[in-house]
Amino acid sequence: MYGIILYIMCQEERAFFGDGMVSLKAIKTRKESKRTDDMQSLDQIWESVLSILQEKSTRSVYDLWFKDLRLVYLDGDKAAVVINSDLKKDIIQKRYAQPLTEALCEVIGFDPPITVLSDEQEKIDPQKIFEEKKSSEPEKEVFSALEEKESLNDPSPILTNDEYTFDNFIVGSSNKLAYAACTAIAKNSSSSFNPLFIYGDSGLGKTHLLYAIINSMKANFPKKNIVYIKGDDFTNELVSSIANEDTLSFRNKYRKADVLLIDDIQFIAGKESTQEEFFHTFNALYEDHKQIILAADRPPKEMKTLEDRLRSRFEWGLIVDVQLPDYELRLAILKNKAKMIGVHIPMPVLQFLAESLHSNIRQLEGAVKKIGAQSFLSGVPVTEEIAKSCIAELSAGAEPQSKTVERIISKVASKYGMTSEDIKSRKKTKEIAYARHICIYIIRNITDMSLPTIGKIFGRDHSTVMASLSVIDNGKKKSPLLDVEIRDLIKEIKEG
């Protein structure tokens, strides 16, 4: 026995196992051999995955995002791939994780979540990276109908997105009233603007303003119970609470709020039980002098299936709208977004983008991000040619303004029982003049045409156009029905 122990001690490179002895160098060699075999297996798996991706993707997408990926880790629960660019890493994780997972599933028969790593991260034990990723994942900040009913007891369930603040909200003529109302509420916690109702088309900044209120109030009034929810999620949570026989927790969550913000409130319209519940929630908060802030894609009077008692309450406070940004505001938004993400875009290119993109703010932000990524990946400065190629998809299908104008005139003429030629003629009868005023107002609001350009369409000068705009503006103030009439026309025109 002592001889065996002495033998082991004297032979530093050997180890005793059972009845035999195996060289430590041999063990190391076997481990290295196993690791090599594992890597070969991973390479074979990934080669099959890449073949699938190549079949399902365009050549440019495959070459840019998938070709250089390598599979470096795989077990029953997770997988990791490596890419040689931090920018590509983030984009692939956000935009292409699903097709990667689906292709891997086709090869191995199950679908472990894929984590995209950089070259530097590859040197670290993948298990450590997975642990760090799990520990750094933020807690859920917004409530869902699928969450456990205990989550309804959270005193302050809010969606906090630090990216959206009043400081980076670009103010222009199309949104300055909404901005002023939101900043006033954020500073004072409560105000005479109760409820505040913000409406406008999608992508114009309503949600940005709601998040900005939340972030500002969290800083100024940290003890306030701020609750944010989307209209359809409010319905889903109500249904879930009824199914779980826990409506008390649901009611406590909303009726004990100091500030309640509901985005896309239009989604509760036509839902009888949801409207009933929200009616009582609204009353409880309002009577307790708690702030209510609502956002929708249309004003209360245009929510056809909204109960009258709710519609009247939505109109108790201040109603403000956010409209499509004009050229100057679009240019300012583009400049600000480029600065925020560190992309240098020359002024002529910014001006080109501001002239070319009209839909909404999200479109502008998406264009800047895409142009920045294209410039980075190609290693060349931003030019108008790069901008044109990047926004080709965004602006595809946008019709020339001349066709938009013709459709506006045609729609208005049809509504008021006359021809397009009548409206464009020199006739000055009351009916034709009124329809002409409507046309001029709509053209000014949904196109970027200057006053002189609009005047030329009707054989008038810019002062006549200004007079027409004034007639309609004054008419809308005197008659809410005219406002509804024009909005319905604009909606019909946009829908084609």
How confident is the prediction along the chain (496 residues), in pLDDT tens digits per residue? 444 343 434 443 343 334 444 444 444 444 444 444 444 577 888 888 888 888 777 776 787 888 889 888 887 678 888 888 777 888 888 888 888 888 888 877 777 888 888 776 655 555 555 555 544 444 333 333 333 333 343 433 433 466 788 888 888 888 889 999 999 999 886 567 889 999 988 778 898 999 999 989 988 888 889 999 988 888 888 888 888 888 898 898 999 999 999 998 988 888 888 899 999 999 999 999 999 999 998 888 888 788 899 999 999 889 998 888 888 888 888 888 888 777 788 898 888 888 877 767 778 888 888 887 777 767 778 888 888 877 775 554 455 677 888 889 999 998 888 899 999 988 889 999 999 999 999 988 887 677 888 888 888 888 888 899 889 988 888 887 888 888 888 888 876 6
72 — phi, psi (to 5°)? Answer: -120, -10
- Kindly state whether residue 143 falls inside one of the protein's structural domains: no
State how far the Cα of 147 lies from the Cα of 131, in Å rounded to an integer: 24
The dihedrals phi and psi of 319, each to the nearest 5 degrees, come to: -110, 125
pLDDT on residue 479: 81
Which residues are within 8 A (CB) of 436 and not within 5 positions of it... i.e. 6 or more apart? Answer: 423, 458, 468
Residues forming a β-bridge with 321: 199
CATH code of the domain covering residue 440: 1.10.1750.10
Q: Which two tokens stand for residue 57?
A: 């993707």
| Neighbouring-strand partners of residue 23 | 14
**What DSSP element (H or E) covers 280?**
helix 272-287
294 and 429 in a single domain? The answer is no
- DSSP H helices, 57-95, are 59-61, 86-95
> Rounded to whole angstroms, how far apart are CA atoms 291 and 397?
42
For residue 133, being part of any structural domain is answered with: no
Q: Write down how long the chain is.
A: 496
CB proximity list for 193: less than 8 A, separation 6 or greater: 181, 184, 185, 317, 318
- Specify whether 179 is located in the same domain as 301: yes
**What percent of the chain is helix, strand and coil (3-state, nearest 5)?**
60, 10, 30
Tell me the pLDDT tens digit for each residue of 145-188: 333 333 343 433 433 466 788 888 888 888 889 999 999 999 88
Q: Examine residue 433 and state whether it is found in any structural domain, yes or no.
A: yes
Return the structure tokens found at 442: 């709509």
Q: Does residue 428 belong to any structural domain of this protein? A: yes
What CATH number does the domain containing 98 carry?
A: 3.30.300.180
CA–CA distance, 3 with 243 (Å, rounded to integer): 75
Among 294, 130, 68, residue whose Cα is nearest residue 199: 294
| Encoded amino acid at 188, one letter | N
Task: Answer whether residue 132 is part of any domain.
Answer: no
Same domain as 389, residue 407: no
Q: How many CA atoms lie within 13 A of 25 on its CB side?
A: 3
Residue 137: what are its φ and ψ, rounded to 5°? Answer: -65, 130
Q: Do residue 232 and residue 367 come from a single domain? A: no
Among residues 340, 366, 106, which one has the least CA distance to residue 353? 366
Residue 157 · residue 253 · CB < 8 Å: yes
Looking at the structure, tell me whether residues 258 and 334 fall in a common domain. Answer: no
Number of domains observed in the structure of the chain: 4
Q: What is the pLDDT of residues 280-291, one digit of tens each?
A: 999 999 999 999
Same domain assignment for residues 303 and 434: no
Q: What CA–CA distance (Å, rounded) separates 444 from 450? A: 8
Same domain, 348 and 490: no
What pLDDT was estimated at residue 126? 54
Q: Count of H helices and E strands in the chain?
A: 23, 10
Same domain flag for 348 and 378: yes
The domain of 243 spans: 166-321
The CATH number given to whatever domain includes residue 213 is 3.40.50.300
Cβ atoms 52, 103 nearer than 8 A: yes
Among the candidates 126, 153, 187, a domain finishes at: 126
Last residue of a domain, one of 321, 347, 377: 321
pLDDT of residue 435: 92
For residue 342, with 0-12 CB atoms within 10 Å meaning exposed, 13-18 middle and 19 or more buried, which class applies?
Answer: exposed
Report angle CA 283, 287, 291 to the nearest 5 degrees. 85
Look at residue 48 and tell me if it is in a domain. yes
The side-by-side arrangement of strands in the sheet containing 318-321 is: 226-230, 259-263, 291-296, 196-199, 318-321
Supply φ then ψ for residue 25, to 5 degrees.
Answer: -65, -35
Q: Rounded to 5 degrees, what are φ and ψ at 257? A: -75, 145
Residue 258: CB atoms within 10 A of its CB come to 19
Residue 353 falls within a domain, yes or no?
yes
